[in-house]
């Protein structure tokens, strides 16, 4: 299962390029880091969260593949999340709680 440490590393990477991040929704999974970044700089969200996939680092055996979506704060409760991503079970991580790995 992806660990909170892996999640925090991904969040730190995104914070470097998106100062509008407010929170991250973490959807724990056995085989990947699944996140939705909530940012006021995101483009208008569609009806469904589109995700981008990033492979695991082949030089880091503890790394996991990543799937990341990007939505606006006002869309958190109105969009449809990917199949298997249960919004009710997502952990909400406020950006000020994410720690550098």
Domains and CATH numbers, the chain: 4-97 (3.30.460)
In degrees and rounded to multiples of 5, residue 26 shows phi and psi of -105, 125
pLDDT attached to residue 97: 59
Instruction: Encode pLDDT of 26-84 as tens digits.
Output: 999 988 999 999 999 998 878 899 999 999 999 998 889 999 999 999 999 999 999 99
H and E: helices and strands count for the chain: 1, 5
* 65 vs 99 pLDDT, higher one: 65
Q: Per-residue pLDDT for 94 more than 70?
A: yes
Tokens of 84: 């298997």
Helix (H, G, I), strand (E, B) or coil at 63: coil
Query: What is the pTM for the complete model shown?
Result: 0.89
Angle, CA of 62, 15 and 39, to the nearest 5°: 115
* 99 vs 60 pLDDT, higher one: 60
Q: How sure is the predictor about 91, in pLDDT bands with cuts at 50, 70 and 90?
A: very high
């Amino acid at each position: 299962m992806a660990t909170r440490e892996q999640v925090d590393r991904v969040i730190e990477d995104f914070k470097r390029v998106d100062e509008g991040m407010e929170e991250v929704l973490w959807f724990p999974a056995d085989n990947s880091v699944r996140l939705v970044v909530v940012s006021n700089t995101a483009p208008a969200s569609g009806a469904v969260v589109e995700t981008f996939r990033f492979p695991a680092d082949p030089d880091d055996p503890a790394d996991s593949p990543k799937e990341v979506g990007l939505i606006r704060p006002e869309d958190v409760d109105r969009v449809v999340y990917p199949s298997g991503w249960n919004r009710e079970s997502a952990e909400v991580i406020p950006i000020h709680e994410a720690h550098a790995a």
